[in-house]
Chain A
Amino acid sequence: MSWLTDPFSNDFMMQALLAGSLAVVTTSLIGTWVVLRGLSFMGDAMAHGVLPGIALAFVWGFDLTIGAAMSALIMIAGIEYVHRRARLSEDTAIGLLFVGMLALGVIIMSRAPSFAGSLTGFLFGNILAVGQSDLIIQAVAAGITALAVAVFYRPFLVLSFNEDKAEVLGLRPRVAHTVMLGLLTLAIVTSFRVVGNLLVFGFLVAPPATASLLVRRVPTMMITAVIIGIATVGGGLLLTWHADTAAGASIAGASVAVFFFVLIARQIVEAVRR
């Protein structure tokens, strides 16, 4: 069993495991709703759309997380504005803002050459460089998310499966939608610095999608997603350790590989049963 335990005898590996697991809690809990409501494109766009805020925060010297949060809020407002005023479908609005924000971010960075770490760091993060302060922020975000999905369980459920009915039931779908986007923002801005943008989006979609193959009820889906996600973080870390591959990309890749493994395995099981 030393192949399993030895790597984690290093502190930085334990911190990476812990940071990855906390990121899974925040992202997969809200990610379950993202998958159920078909908001994946929105999630992807938001994960990239935080770039201009981060770049500006770097140039003007304020906190990167605040910059990312501001960027995300502007993005949500922009999508809402285009969707309502231009009477275009939401995915067109998301696409416009996605490209616009990403381009703006790269432009700002091109004028600020000393942006240390820049694009590579933004995409892949530095999961091997997680420190204590990162873990505290992530733990708080995970706590808030867990509490919010519990409190807003009913409104989220109605919003996901019968939005029209929500109005009738007095569950205020717009408030529920806003809270959901707020939680999505929280998940992205607290996780991207640690695990990188690619991994945030991977955790947002892959573990919940895998869980949806296995279970039906939403609460079970959320719990299953978190368990699968944490197992993936561990597996991905073992992969980067033993196969000597890039750390963040190994974990993100593992999360998607698990999805396809479960999908194919389920098909085989169904075929055998018949």
Chain B
Amino acid sequence: MIMRTTLILKTLALFLAAVAVTACSADGEERQSIEVVATTSILGDITSNVVGDGALLEVIMSPGADPHEFEPSARQVASILSADLVVANGLGLEESLEDVLDSAVEEGVAVIEIGSEVDPVRLTDSDGFDPHVWLDPVRMAGAVDSIIAALVELDASVDWAAQAAPYRQELLALDTWIGQQLEFIPPDTRVLLTGHQNLGYFADRYEFKIVATILPGATTMIEPSASGFAGVIDVLEASGARAVFTDFGESQALAEQLIAQADRDVAVVPLHLGALGSEGSGAETYLDVMRWNVEAIRAVFEQ
């Protein structure tokens, strides 16, 4: 029933968007500056640092929204279809935006999928790529380059690269800082156990091993099997995992059950993995998200 409702809503949204687009172009108003739309809150923050005042930016997902489950409003669909440039993550992350992004490409909107631009890695035991590329700051420096290239295509009169250079530098400095923060952890204890397969790129960059995930995939929209869950309990008991790292955007119920069942004393530690934190969380920007997460991870390993 939910599925059918979703489909109807989506069709309606596309229809309304088409009407809105037609209405806008009929006005014949001249565009003053480039209109850029970013899908996730994290990509939105990174994009805003690249475009600065040089373009109008709209971010589709608000802080805290789980990108796997997000549903756009009709007005947001209209923005995507009428934008000059759409910065999306791709690789199957924005599950319910995929149709809209396809339509945008057909409408002639420049759509860049950051995920496929920054050397994505395949998921273990699946054909697909892991979409959670933003948890590696070096890849996000690459994302900045992709966004710059796309902006140059649209308007070469602005020196986008020079404008974004300081931020790009900050991303690389963040990488160095994270490396230093986690340096003290001995190689043999660098193991992580997570809610779903979302820390792969982070683990690769900072030499951690993900021993298990509660949900057996790269999305939150699945339910585990009983034997799969029992397997995760065994791994938690056998491995040296210090905590169960979850995302603030996903249900904590299974993680709580996991630590209740394990014969070792571990904690559930939620991190800002899928989205920016809400106001007052201390994780309102991408840089702060990464610092916040790394400090939380460091605190666990310091115990």
Contacts and interface: CB of A to CB of B under 8 A. Distances in A.
B45 interface: no
Contacts of B230: 7, 10, 12-13, 241
Interface string B244-262: 0000111111101100110
Nearest to A103: B5
A244 B225 CA distance: 5
A120 interface: yes
A175 interface: no
Contact of A113 (B65, B224, B228): B65
Contact of A131 (B221, B250, B257): B257
A128 B255 CA distance: 10
Interface string A116-147: 11111101101011110000000000000000
Nearest to B230: A10
Nearest to B270: A116
A248 B223 contact: yes
A270 interface: no
Would you call the interface of chain B mostly helix, strand, loop, or mixed? loop
Interface in A1-58: 7, 10-13, 16, 48
Contact of B261 (A11, A123, A240, A243): A11
A94 B254 CA distance: 34
Interface residues of A, number: 39
B5 A102 contact: yes
Nearest to A12: B261
A124 to B, nearest CB: 5
Interface string A224-249: 00000000000001001111111111
B144 interface: no
Interface stretch (B66-74, B123-131, B202-210): B66-74
A240 B222 CA distance: 14
B237 to A, nearest CB: 12
Interface residues of B, number: 39
A5 to B, nearest CB: 14
A92 interface: no
A106 interface: yes
A130 B249 contact: no
A103 B8 CA distance: 11
A244 B251 CA distance: 21
B248 A126 contact: no
B271 to A, nearest CB: 13
Interface stretch (B56-64, B86-94, B292-300): B56-64
B233 interface: yes
Contacts, number: 105
A29 to B, nearest CB: 25
Contact of B251 (A11, A113, A126, A245): A126
Contacts of B156: none
A45 B3 CA distance: 15
Contact of A7 (B1, B224, B226, B256): B226
A130 B251 contact: no
B225 A240 contact: yes
Contact of A247 (B5, B69, B70, B224): B224
A230 B203 CA distance: 43
Contacts of A240: 225-227
Nearest to B255: A129
Given A129-B256, A131-B256, A131-B260, A113 B223 contact: no
A117 B251 contact: yes
B227 A113 contact: no
A129 B226 contact: no
B229 interface: yes
Contacts of B62: 113
Contacts of B26: none
A178 interface: no
B169 interface: no
Contacts of B251: 116-117, 121, 126
Given A244-B225, A244-B228, A120 B69 contact: yes
A113 B225 contact: no
* Top 9 closest pairs, chain A to chain B, by CB: A117-B251, A113-B65, A114-B64, A129-B253, A129-B257, A246-B223, A240-B226, A241-B226, A126-B253
Given A102-B2, A113-B62, A245-B225, 7 more contacts: A12-B261, A102-B5, A113-B61, A113-B66, A120-B223, A128-B229, A129-B253
23 contacts: A7-B226, A11-B261, A102-B1, A102-B5, A110-B71, A113-B61, A114-B65, A114-B249, A114-B278, A116-B251, A119-B69, A120-B69, A126-B254, A128-B229, A128-B257, A129-B253, A129-B256, A241-B226, A245-B225, A246-B223, A246-B225, A247-B225, A247-B229
